[in-house]
Amino acid sequence: MREHTPSRRPEVFDIAASAVNNSNYRTVEWTGRHLQVTLMRIAPGESIGAEVHQETDQFLRVEAGEGEARLGPADGEWEQVVAVRPGWALCVPAGTWHDVVNTGDSALALYSIYAPVHHAESAVHPSRELAEADERAGRDDPPRWAVRAVDPMVE
């Protein structure tokens, strides 16, 4: 795994290998002004946790393992439930509830791209519980220099 440093510089790396070799629930791999790359590892039987990002579009790609993608208008109201495996991707528009559940016997490795930036720069969360604790405590907010979402529907 590469060393983590502040990311406002161009980088070239093997994202598939980085996702597969990531040992944390979530690792922020790169943060720019407009988007962010994170790596995730989900243990068998666990999930990323049902969530919605009101002002952030998200792209997720599975690199290892087997899972189930769930997308819908509300938590538990899944309009799409799809089995996913390496090579499968989810495009999640802002405001869409989503979850990815590991249905296999080995770790589910994926990467996620957020636009705009959604997490603290260079954040590393070994577990979902620690990630959620940092979110609740305000320690996982995007850096101030990142471009924030502006909702054109709000006057």
* DSSP secondary structure letters along the chain: -PPP----S-----HHHHHHH--SSEEEEEE-SS-EEEEEEE-TT-BS--B--TT-EEEEEEEES-EEEEEESBTTB-SEEEEE-TT-EEEE-TT-EEEEEE-SSS-EEEEEEEES--S-TT-EESSHHHHHHHHHTTTTPPPTTSPPP--TT--
Q: What digits encode the pLDDT tens for the residues 77-120? A: 999 999 999 999 999 999 999 999 999 999 999 999 999 999 99
What local confidence, expressed as pLDDT, does residue 148 receive?
77
Average pLDDT of the chain is 92
